[in-house]
Amino acid sequence: PEIENVAEHNALFGKYELGRLLGCGAFAKVYYARNVQSGQSVAIKIINKKKISGTSLVANVKREISIMSRLHHPHIVKLHEVLATKSKIFFVMEFVKGGELFAKISKGRFSEDLSRKYFQQLISAVGYCHSRGVFHRDLKPENLLLDENGNLKVSDFGLSAVKEQIRPDGMLHTLCGTPAYVAPEILSKKGYDGAKVDVWSCGVILFVLAAGYLPFNDPNLMVMYKKIYKGEYRCPRWMSPDLKRFLSRLLDTNPETRITVHEIISDPWFRKGYKEIKFHQ
């Protein structure tokens, strides 16, 4: 129904049968679809070229394609193929059945053990990306999906940057990400290290998982930024001391002293029940 153009219809429907709308983002709509021949379920992200006519946005889409097709990890959404017509781009991805992790959190906080499980899977994916020079830069619960087995999959690489695109000083400069999950050094606009800002966002995500609410929040955006900048947050009373200590290492406003992915993996709170997640390179 959303696809007006007949040529597009054929390009897509020859191979895929389009189903219900799964979700909307800023520039894209994502639909459920079935491969007509194999019966395989997929998710198709449709990007309207008209909405992204700016050169940097087109570059962003191309970047998303090249990044996603290079990532092979059990906790990262797989990109099967990319189709394009005059007016639209179709990203054919692995269909992730369980919906957004965000939808589950909004029903209440998770136990520390369940929060840990999701966090371990998130860090496994993030560490894998970092080791390949890919930084997500928009990590938040809306971009974390759950599969039918309740395992986490990181999606939406639309904003991620690759190392080659970093300026000669080694810092990333674009102001991006979502306010509540954004690291303080991004707000100060001095340029930042992609790995460090992902760790900060992971810290905010872990807080939300375990506490059920955002660590830095205010109806007034400027007040919220100020809280982020100062690292002003309070853990709920019932949170374990080990988790409180771990969170303080993740939500360290100083990127220089903030915990690294390498250090996260050896933290006692993190390690509990951690099995190294195996995958093919």
The sign one gets for the Cα dihedral 125, 166, 137, 200 is positive
Distance CA 17, CA 3 (A): 12
Question: What is each CA distance from 101 to 10, 137, 185, 272, in whole angstroms?
Answer: 34, 18, 27, 22
Verify binding: residue 145, ligand ADP, rule CB under 6 A: yes
Verify binding: residue 23, ligand ADP, rule CB under 6 A: yes
Rounded to the nearest whole angstrom, what is the least distance from the CB of residue 52 to ligand ADP in the complex? Answer: 11
Distance, CA of 245 to chain centre:
24
Q: Which residues bind Mg ion (CB under 5 A)?
A: 25, 143, 156
Q: Could you tell me which of 154, 26, 33, 8 has the C-alpha nearest to residue 84?
A: 8
Nearest CB to ligand ADP, comparing residues 115 and 155:
155
Active centre residues (catalytic): 138
Rounded to the nearest whole angstrom, what is the least distance from the CB of residue 205 to Mg ion in the complex? Answer: 14
- Dig out the tokens for 79 from the structure: 């990109």
Residue 12 interface partner, choices Mg ion, ligand ADP, none, CB cut-off 5-8 Å depending on type? none
Verify binding: residue 90, ligand ADP, rule CB under 6 A: no
Nearest CB to ligand ADP, comparing residues 11 and 47:
47
Verify binding: residue 161, ligand ADP, rule CB under 6 A: no
Residue 27 interface partner, choices ligand ADP, Mg ion, none, CB cut-off 5-8 Å depending on type? ligand ADP
Coil, strand or helix at 82: strand
Distance, CA of 217 to chain centre:
20
Verify binding: residue 18, ligand ADP, rule CB under 6 A: no
How many residues sit close enough to ligand ADP to count as binding (CB under 6 A)? 21
Rounded to the nearest whole angstrom, what is the least distance from the CB of residue 16 to Mg ion in the complex? Answer: 21
Distance CA 138, CA 201 (A): 8
Q: Which of residues 100-139 bind ligand ADP (CB under 6 A)?
A: 100
Nearest CB to Mg ion, comparing residues 141 and 203:
141
Verify binding: residue 77, ligand ADP, rule CB under 6 A: yes
Verify binding: residue 142, ligand ADP, rule CB under 6 A: yes
Verify binding: residue 68, ligand ADP, rule CB under 6 A: no
Rounded to the nearest whole angstrom, what is the least distance from the CB of residue 63 to ligand ADP in the complex? Answer: 12
Verify binding: residue 45, ligand ADP, rule CB under 6 A: yes
Q: What angle do CA 237, 242, 247 make, to 5 degrees?
A: 80
Coil, strand or helix at 238: coil
Distance, CA of 115 to chain centre:
16
Distance CA 106, CA 120 (A): 21
Question: What is each CA distance from 92 to 16, 115, 209, 241, in whole angstroms?
Answer: 10, 30, 29, 44
Residues that bind ligand ADP (CB under 6 A): 22-23, 25-28, 30, 43, 45, 77, 93-96, 100, 142-143, 145, 155-156, 158
